Amino acid sequence: MSVRTNTPPAAGTWRLGDRTVNRLGFGAMRLTGTAPFHGGVPRDRERSIAVLRRAVELGVNHLDTAAFYFSATRSANELINRALAPYPEDLVITTKVWPARDPSGAWWWAAPEQLRGQVEENLRQLGRDHLDVVNLRVPPSRRSGSIAEHFGALAELRDAGLIRHLGVSNVTAAQLAEARTVAPVVCVQNPYGIGAPDQDRALLRQCGELGVAFVPFFAIAGAGHQNGPGIGDGAAVRDIARAHGASVAQVRLAWTLQQGPHVLAIPGTGDPDHLAENVAAGSLRLSDGELARLDALRPAEDPGSN
């Protein structure tokens, strides 16, 4: 079996609210530059647009983005708008609010009453009259606090028709439970990868029991990513990659997708070759023994989350 010739539907589908998406999606952050938050080299604009169009041609119908995904000369939302509008009917665009960046790039965090402005900013940039899914992205300093006031503000915007579905990001199990008392939650977007700590694995399982999509980010970031979970590309990952004629990134993606039918992957890239490689990973199936070997891996220490 080749792992370089298949498409996102090979990974199966999931019902995200009232929309069906292929489980292998696309994250837009890397379209804007090699280090979009830290003054990295901007991507070539036309190549980024071509990557987006190619992703949709290959069957990707779930995009993850944010208004704060921008570099000195590139905006992820603007690139999505330019590449894909008018949007395909089956395309689901997920964005996130609470954090934001001012025009100079400095970060700030919205009060509940400021979330409407963030939602409207995404609407303007994407050229839409509603957002398919909005995740409330919880700041690191609030990981043990209540998110009800902010999530309630988003629920009001959903009731007003600006948002179709709500999700939460960078949350604990307690915060997910709190959010679900306010409004329906269709997805949880948290850091997750090989070597994830036990509490993160438990949350992934809980989402499956609740019928909530689990959308890991930094699943293939690898060793040394400042915000990524998991461990380095050790012997187990490399051995399994060689056995399948695959890359380490493809093994990480395949492992991610095999964590449960409710798990949606959103690998991002600005490189067309990496896009093809990531998409092909949707057809890679790891054996029970390979999964067990990878599941047994643990990080030397808890890397935390962003």
76 contacts 45 by C-beta, under 8 angstroms = no
Is there a cis peptide before residue 9, judged by omega within 30 degrees of 0? no
Q: Which two tokens stand for residue 219?
A: 């699943």
Kindly state the DSSP code that residue 70 receives in the 8-state scheme.
B
Render 234-289 in DSSP notation, one character per residue. -HHHHHHHHHHT--HHHHHHHHHHTT-TTB-B----S-HHHHHHHHHGGG----HH
Report d(CA 77, CA 120) in Å as an integer: 13
Measured distance CA(142)–CA(305) in Å, rounded: 12
Query: Which residue reads 């708008």 in tokens?
Result: 81
69 annotated active-site: yes
Using alpha carbons, select from 65, 63, 64, 61 the residue that is nearest to residue 90: 61
Burial (Cβ within 10 Å: 0-12, 13-18, ≥19) of residue 120 = middle
- The residue from 68, 69, 98, 151 that is catalytic is 69
Catalytic residues: 69
